[in-house]
Amino acid sequence: MIIVMRPDSTEQDVEQVVARLGERGYGHHISRGEERTIIGAIGAPDHEKEVVAGQFSVLPGVERVVPILKPYKLISREYNPRPATVMIGPARVGGGHLGVIAGPCSVESAEQVMQTARAVKEAGATALRGGAFKPRTSPYSFQGLGSEGLDYLAAAREETGLPIVTEVMDVRQLDGVAEVADCVQIGARNMQNYDLLKEAGHCGRPVMLKRGFSSTIEEWLKAAEYIAAGGTLDIVLCERGIRTFETATRFTLDLSAMAVARRETFLPIVADPSHAVGISHLVAPMALAAVAAGADGLLIEVHPRPDQALSDGPQSLTPAAFAELMRQVRQVAEAVGRHV
Amino acid sequence: MIIVMRPDSTEQDVEQVVARLGERGYGHHISRGEERTIIGAIGAPDHEKEVVAGQFSVLPGVERVVPILKPYKLISREYNPRPATVMIGPARVGGGHLGVIAGPCSVESAEQVMQTARAVKEAGATALRGGAFKPRTSPYSFQGLGSEGLDYLAAAREETGLPIVTEVMDVRQLDGVAEVADCVQIGARNMQNYDLLKEAGHCGRPVMLKRGFSSTIEEWLKAAEYIAAGGTLDIVLCERGIRTFETATRFTLDLSAMAVARRETFLPIVADPSHAVGISHLVAPMALAAVAAGADGLLIEVHPRPDQALSDGPQSLTPAAFAELMRQVRQVAEAVGRHV
Amino acid sequence: MIIVMRPDSTEQDVEQVVARLGERGYGHHISRGEERTIIGAIGAPDHEKEVVAGQFSVLPGVERVVPILKPYKLISREYNPRPATVMIGPARVGGGHLGVIAGPCSVESAEQVMQTARAVKEAGATALRGGAFKPRTSPYSFQGLGSEGLDYLAAAREETGLPIVTEVMDVRQLDGVAEVADCVQIGARNMQNYDLLKEAGHCGRPVMLKRGFSSTIEEWLKAAEYIAAGGTLDIVLCERGIRTFETATRFTLDLSAMAVARRETFLPIVADPSHAVGISHLVAPMALAAVAAGADGLLIEVHPRPDQALSDGPQSLTPAAFAELMRQVRQVAEAVGRHV
Amino acid sequence: MIIVMRPDSTEQDVEQVVARLGERGYGHHISRGEERTIIGAIGAPDHEKEVVAGQFSVLPGVERVVPILKPYKLISREYNPRPATVMIGPARVGGGHLGVIAGPCSVESAEQVMQTARAVKEAGATALRGGAFKPRTSPYSFQGLGSEGLDYLAAAREETGLPIVTEVMDVRQLDGVAEVADCVQIGARNMQNYDLLKEAGHCGRPVMLKRGFSSTIEEWLKAAEYIAAGGTLDIVLCERGIRTFETATRFTLDLSAMAVARRETFLPIVADPSHAVGISHLVAPMALAAVAAGADGLLIEVHPRPDQALSDGPQSLTPAAFAELMRQVRQVAEAVGRHV
């Protein structure tokens, strides 16, 4: 970290900073410019960097503290420079393999899941998604079928062979979900539910971590670091749109975030255009854009009857629209050297 | 809800919408303008409004669905027009009584809490805040003292008489926290942790609900509705800053949100300028602004030694600065007809 | 427009609204639901819709006014349902033809422009971009060469045959720029410089209108309506990134806005990934994403020596990187049925 | 500026950076930490800092460039540490004197302006505002009366003695406006209209610079630096709300920005709650909040008949509501040691 002193700071202020650095086990390096004195802290210990930066920022004469090192480690390219592949059951995500995870927003019935699973399998999806536990903004909306929904997903896997990705909202559901799911999803609203992140890290399944809709890329990577610190590197990141001032779409799919994160981490990154845009006719262009931008996979909501869906009908594709999308996805994927 | 048809919609499209409304138990009213046909749905049943709106939006010929009614009820002024007062232990929040809830971000030691509690009590605070369970963006930062921290808070209450407000992050901590705390706080990052909201609603304590830093006012009120549906109307809302493009402050304190929410709900609303601005010298002007704008209370971070704080040092006031702030708060409160 | 009355509105309030509608030349339609009375205004006259909506919103008993019609007309699909093609000199933009407009951010010297023009022509660009008049956030930064810069652009066109797109910042420059340029660009910071928009509409050249970095899609389209009202429909829209809370990129390229706008207007829409991301290694993935999402063209910053550029060096591609990008652009374009 | 090298940078990369610093006239200071090498640039010349930072950021081996010095000078506290007072005609803004600038959004008629001027004068306003040239998002809305409107403002000043603040949108209007106005206002949409800023700096009148609704505090101050570089330090800054994801208010009044800017510059800063919130019943709480937060003045929209206003009716106060607000403003001002 670098400590920038105020123009009116005194020699004594500088000495106090240096003394405090020494107490903390840091070396230092002073650079006196014409307008500012700058103190470099050398040999930063691994832990508590952010806390220490906060403490130094309030010492007398300090203008600001500039962190230099990244606040994550286990998941960073500095730790492991090669892109990783994560297996969701038999489906490979990363390393040129596009994972296409499709299915309904909510599991509503055995029939609905089975019908959707068959259709997306037929169209070429590599995994099945569907929520048994649902985060809903209104307490009066359908809240999901719970463990009954997990059974329906398992039945659909049994028949189609598609591995299952499903969300866990609460640490108490984790064991039950991990028993059935091939990949445990942490939703955007729980990206900073730190207890859940830690425990998901040792639930025995790969974890898909959605970006919080108002989280910076750095916060997203730090949340992934929590999972990694919990015990696994089988993590798939998922960009699903951020909240901006624009209201014509539900969120704004931030594809450049995917490209930035790829430089920082070796973890595979997928995109969820369905939740990002919230309107079915915008899903296809954004899915193709995500593939062209280098996504390692897609999450796509598909429902046999969007006009009867208990959640997210407006953004769900029909099976026919999904099949047409898959055709285009294959072409764009090929154009950028990837395949489904 | 109002259903606006596309200019190219057919008579058959209109008929299908009307038929579906009938199936759902709605009456309807058709208004044919020169450029658009509009269908009003009448007698909407209480539940599932948002789901239904989504379903109608994907019917053929529908341009958009405009909801008319508010998506919350128990906490709305339509349900109860008079502003409510919530008691946090002996401290009254609302109805002209300003609650001033002060203390450290994290409980770090028995000594630190006791020292702070004495100082804020002396300066005129009406409740003590302090986190035993801490949501931290880095897994390598101090994570809080847990239940040991609760003991220190209880000891400080024992001596000073100040009631305690402390955060719960995980449903599994709820019983333990509710046993000790006079008011259970749900943090911004958990504002949409719906399981936690529901259970907090029947934990037997008042609940302070912070606004998620990217949540709309409507989402905030819907989250409060979850708590109310869980079983209590002893809810205090807390505006604590939203995330915007501006990075000079940690968040942007949205005082007009407080004024908007006041029209919608009878629940008291307090402001947390400390977390909003993140820089100690900005806390006082924003605390005064919040009082002038009509806040029912303040959350203020105070630490005996901000340069040694294990969290949020940069935004913590010293006891002396807090005492000076309280002097000004009293003056501004009086100017707008309130008192501490 | 629809006028929603408050639950506590009186019969007299309703009558006043109806009377005012009559004075304004509107018919009306009253729908009395169980919880709200709703008044539909019929036969809205063409002008002043927004002003009128504001006036009704403050009448006694009115809860809110919901506009139904779009606030733009000349540029809308309702006016002209078929996608248009705009010619920039000999280069076709729209209708399956991808316009690739490449060149330096600023015109810095005759040599720099000529060298860049040759390189981008060779790589397959269809037009040359370069700023002679530059909007710079600091008064101490290079402000552009002005009309001398226009001469250098004209010389480069003379040699390479590439038509020229260049920015106009001030109405006083408009005639001079229009004399030389094949397409006049209105920058993001001037998207709501209404005098400039009106006059650009009859300058005799096609106009490229960049989206303001904090403008909604609707505001962008209304700005285009100003140009159209000024006298031309030869307008190319350009999405160039919006300001969000994310700071890892300069702006956030909002590709879904492009897809939304395409439904609303027949005007061609191009994307400027260079300004959006601000970092050269992110330009290629986002350019490919834009093409896959359906862009009618790209603006790409290219500089022979980014480390000596007087503006936007960090986001400029070298000629070699641009040539490689063009190879990939052609492949992705083909995969989605377009060509350069 | 500080140049942080990548962990995989070579000795040669460091040498190249150092050599380039030398060519540019900088000294340097190298600090080799365990994980990063950092190069401090010393003795930065005054101009082109941002351009230079961009150029260094693309050199091989460079991870990022951290600017240390502020990008403005003439308006900074480092240049002049004492808060300034600006005179708008006879009205003092700053130095404990609250300027209250009230009046209609648009000048609509001689009668409307005169009536409003009398009312706000009576209630205690110190200046009259009113737009003759209006930026309107729709080309079909009322565009202002132009120079005729200036005459009406002058007549109102003649009678009431209130000085006039009015907006200029276009450099071509500047002379005409400056001839009549006591203070020339640059609106939010023109905050980065650099030609206008420069010329306003030597128009012979004080300039009120509104913050762009998506401009950072730093950009706002850099825009003020343009005016200062143009020739005057008689500049009043005006915070008028920023665009955020929240749509319940028109914009989000960012009062902490005012507090941040106050540390950076000696210029007085006023707040415009009317444009920020866009709804009349929210104006009063936010006006009081602004005063409590330390504003040097207020801009308040007042209209004799908001339900007939040709612009901004929904946010306009009636003369009676304004008089009541002034009463409260005086009390809060007194509580924080200021006076109208």
Among candidates C246, C293, C294 on the partner chain, residue whose Cβ is nearest the Cβ of A242: C246
Among candidates A47, A50, A313 on the partner chain, residue whose Cβ is nearest the Cβ of B54: A313
> Is pLDDT above 80 for B43?
no
> Is pLDDT above 90 for A137?
no
> Is pLDDT above 80 for A175?
yes
User: Residue C71: which pLDDT band, with cuts at 50, 70 and 90?
Assistant: confident
Is the CB of residue D108 less than 8 Å away from at least one CB of chain C? Answer: no
| pTM for the full predicted model | 0.95
> Is pLDDT above 70 for A46?
no
Q: Which of B2, B215, B251 to mutate to test the interface with C (most CBs of C within 10 A)?
A: B2
Contact B293/D288, CB-based, under 8 Å?
yes
User: Residue B48: which pLDDT band, with cuts at 50, 70 and 90?
Assistant: low
d(CA A1, CA D38): 10
Q: What is the pLDDT of residues A236-285, one digit of tens each?
A: 999 999 999 999 999 999 999 999 999 999 999 999 999 999 999 999 99
Average pLDDT for chain A: 94
d(CA D171, CA D193): 10
Phi, psi of B41 (to 5 degrees): -95, 130
Nearest CA in chain B to A190: B193
pLDDT at B22: 92
Is the CB of residue A248 less than 8 Å away from at least one CB of chain B? Answer: no
Contact D31/A35, CB-based, under 8 Å?
no
Among candidates C252, C255, C263 on the partner chain, residue whose Cβ is nearest the Cβ of A286: C255
Neighbours of chain C (3+ CB pairs under 8 A): A, B, D
Contact by Cβ (8 Å): A258, A295? yes
User: Residue C78: which pLDDT band, with cuts at 50, 70 and 90?
Assistant: confident
Higher pLDDT, D242 or B138: D242
The number of beta carbons lying within 10 Å of the beta carbon of residue B35 is 12
pLDDT at D46: 56
Among candidates B141, B192, B314 on the partner chain, residue whose Cβ is nearest the Cβ of A58: B314
Helix boundaries (H) for chain D: 11-23, 49-57, 110-123, 147-160, 174-180, 194-200, 217-230, 255-264, 273-277, 280-292, 319-335
Q: What is the pLDDT of residues A206-231, one digit of tens each?
A: 999 999 999 999 999 999 999 999 99
Nearest CA in chain B to A213: B214
Which helix (H) or strand (E) segment holds residue A197: the answer is helix A194-200
Orientation angle between helical segments B319-335 and B110-123, nearest 10 degrees? 30
Cβ-based contacts of C29 with chain B (< 8 Å)? 31
User: Residue B53: which pLDDT band, with cuts at 50, 70 and 90?
Assistant: confident
d(CA B279, CA B310): 15
Q: What number is the average pLDDT over the span A127-148?
A: 89
> Is pLDDT above 80 for A107?
yes
Q: What number is the average pLDDT over the span B190-202?
A: 94
Q: Which of D218, D243, D255 to mutate to test the interface with B (most CBs of B within 10 A)?
A: D255
Q: Which of B30, B39, B243, B245 to mutate to test the interface with C (most CBs of C within 10 A)?
A: B245
d(CA C133, CA C150): 9
Q: Shortest Cα distance from C72 to chain D (angstroms)?
A: 8
Contact B58/A169, CB-based, under 8 Å?
no
Same fold, D2-66 and D86-335: no
> Is pLDDT above 80 for B44?
no
Average pLDDT for chain B: 94
The two tokens of residue B166 are: 């402390």
User: Residue A44: which pLDDT band, with cuts at 50, 70 and 90?
Assistant: low
Q: What number is the average pLDDT over the span C245-251?
A: 96
- CATH architecture of the domain with residue range D2-66: 2-Layer Sandwich (3.30)
Cβ-based contacts of B244 with chain C (< 8 Å)? 245
Residues above pLDDT 90, as percent of chain A: 84
pLDDT at D136: 82
Give domain limits for chain D.
2-66, 86-335
DSSP per-residue letters across C71-89: S--TTBTTT--SPP-EEET
User: Residue A78: which pLDDT band, with cuts at 50, 70 and 90?
Assistant: confident
> Is pLDDT above 90 for C68?
no
| B228 contact partners, CB below 8 Å, separation of at least 6 | B74, B75, B201, B235
Q: What is the pLDDT of residues B94-130, one digit of tens each?
A: 999 999 999 999 999 999 999 999 999 999 999 999 9
Contact B66/C2, CB-based, under 8 Å?
yes
> Is pLDDT above 60 for B292?
yes
The two tokens of residue C200 are: 């650009």
pLDDT at C53: 87
Categorise residue B305: left if φ over 0, alpha if ψ from -120 to 50, beta otherwise: beta
Among candidates C34, C68, C245 on the partner chain, residue whose Cβ is nearest the Cβ of B243: C245
The number of beta carbons lying within 10 Å of the beta carbon of residue D216 is 19
The ipTM of this complex is 0.95
pLDDT at D49: 73
Nearest CA in chain D to A29: D31
pLDDT at C69: 84
User: Residue C34: which pLDDT band, with cuts at 50, 70 and 90?
Assistant: confident
Give residue for tokens 């991990």.
Answer: A178
Among candidates A35, A214, A247 on the partner chain, residue whose Cβ is nearest the Cβ of D69: A35
> Is pLDDT above 90 for B46?
no
Cβ-based contacts of C249 with chain A (< 8 Å)? 256-257, 260
> Is pLDDT above 80 for C106?
yes
Is the CB of residue A330 less than 8 Å away from at least one CB of chain D? Answer: no
Among candidates A7, A33, A244 on the partner chain, residue whose Cβ is nearest the Cβ of D40: A33
Which helix (H) or strand (E) segment holds residue B220: the answer is helix B217-230
Q: Shortest Cα distance from A76 to chain B (angstroms)?
A: 14
pLDDT at A263: 94
Contact by Cβ (8 Å): A121, A138? no
Contact by Cβ (8 Å): A46, A98? no
Higher pLDDT, A33 or C293: C293
- CB contacts under 8 A, D 54-93 vs C, are 54-59, 71-72
Which helix (H) or strand (E) segment holds residue C179: the answer is helix C174-180
Contact A4/D68, CB-based, under 8 Å?
yes
Q: Shortest Cα distance from B46 to chain A (angstroms)?
A: 8
d(CA A242, CA C242): 12
- Residue D99 to residues B291, D330, D338: CA-CA distances in angstroms? 22, 12, 11
Q: What is the pLDDT of residues C150-173, one digit of tens each?
A: 999 999 999 999 999 999 999 999
Neighbours of chain D (3+ CB pairs under 8 A): A, B, C
Contact D244/B248, CB-based, under 8 Å?
no
Determine how β-strand D269-271 pairs with β-strand C99-103. unpaired
How many Å from the N-terminal Cα to the C-terminal Cα in chain B? 43
Cβ-based contacts of B171 with chain A (< 8 Å)? 170-172
Cβ-based contacts of C244 with chain A (< 8 Å)? 242, 244, 252, 254
User: Residue C45: which pLDDT band, with cuts at 50, 70 and 90?
Assistant: low
Is the CB of residue B4 less than 8 Å away from at least one CB of chain C? Answer: yes
Determine how β-strand D2-5 pairs with β-strand D62-66. antiparallel
Superfamily of domain B86-335: Aldolase class I (3.20.20.70)
DSSP per-residue letters across D228-281: HHHT---EEEEE--B--S--SSSSB--HHHHHHHHHHB-S-EEE-HHHHH-SHH
Residues above pLDDT 90, as percent of chain D: 84
Cβ-based contacts of A244 with chain D (< 8 Å)? 245
> Is pLDDT above 90 for B244?
yes
Residues above pLDDT 70, as percent of chain C: 99
Among candidates A216, A277, A293 on the partner chain, residue whose Cβ is nearest the Cβ of C286: A293
Q: Which of A214, A239, A250, A255 to mutate to test the interface with C (most CBs of C within 10 A)?
A: A255
- Residues (pLDDT < 50) of chain D are none
Q: What number is the average pLDDT over the span A307-311?
A: 90
Contact by Cβ (8 Å): A54, B105? no
| A137 contact partners, CB below 8 Å, separation of at least 6 | B50, B71, B192, B219, B222, B223
Q: Which amino acid is at D139?
A: P
Contact by Cβ (8 Å): D1, D65? yes
Average pLDDT for chain C: 94
Cβ-based contacts of D57 with chain C (< 8 Å)? 313-314
Q: What number is the average pLDDT over the span C241-245?
A: 97
Give residue for tokens 């796509």.
Answer: A300
Q: What is the pLDDT of residues C314-324, one digit of tens each?
A: 999 999 999 99
Nearest Cα to Cα of residue A219 among A250, A257, A168, A268: A257
Contact B193/A193, CB-based, under 8 Å?
yes
> Is pLDDT above 60 for C42?
yes
Contact C2/B38, CB-based, under 8 Å?
yes
Cβ-based contacts of B314 with chain A (< 8 Å)? 54, 57-58
